[in-house]
Amino acid sequence: MSEAVMVKTIYLKATPEKVWRYITKKELLAQWFHETDRDLTEKASFQYFSFHDDKPDRKLMWGDVVEVDPPNKLVHTFTHQWLKGVVTTVSWELMAVEGGTQLTLTHDGINTFEELTGHDKGWDEHLLRLRMMLS
């Protein structure tokens, strides 16, 4: 399989500024996605952590923030051990719409169908939690 691009668009009953905080602020990311070592508000490396507190190394995913345009767009690289060295890119685009925000997540650079289906399921679960947080 050549590199795949996954695009997911959801509509949230919150302003772009509020959605921006939920996709960039450490304490809010931990409520619907994963705990991270820092806010994703400037170009720098970051890590997401596992929910399993009993593991000595809780690092689960990591990447680098490469573009920050509040509250419109966030782009970061994204990888984890199961991607076996493949670095993918995740873009979050926010657009104000009547009644809230259109959030479009684009995840590209995925190389196998197994990885694509796994990430597709994972993003669906996480985005559902985000939607519930912002209802």
Overall number of domains in the chain: 1
What separation in angstroms does the CA of 9 have from each of 1, 44, 59, 60? 24, 26, 28, 25
Mean pLDDT computed over every residue of the chain? 92
Structural domain span for residue 23? 4-133
Long-range contacts of 116-124 (CB under 8 A, 24+ apart): 116/1, 116/4, 116/6, 118/82, 119/6, 120/6, 123/6, 123/8, 124/8
The predicted-structure confidence for 66-81, as pLDDT tens digits, reads as follows 999 999 999 999 999 8
Q: What is the pLDDT of residue 2?
A: 66
Q: What is the pLDDT of residue 19?
A: 98
Render 78-110 in DSSP notation, one character per residue.
Answer: EEEGGGTT--EEEEEEEEEETTEEEEEEEEEEE
**Domain CATH for 64:** 3.30.530.20
Q: How confident is the model at residue 26 (pLDDT cuts 50, 70, 90)?
A: very high
**Distant-in-sequence, close-in-space partners of 106: CB < 8 Å, separation ≥ 6:** 5, 6, 7, 89, 90, 91, 93
Q: What's the rounded mean pLDDT across residues 28-50?
A: 94
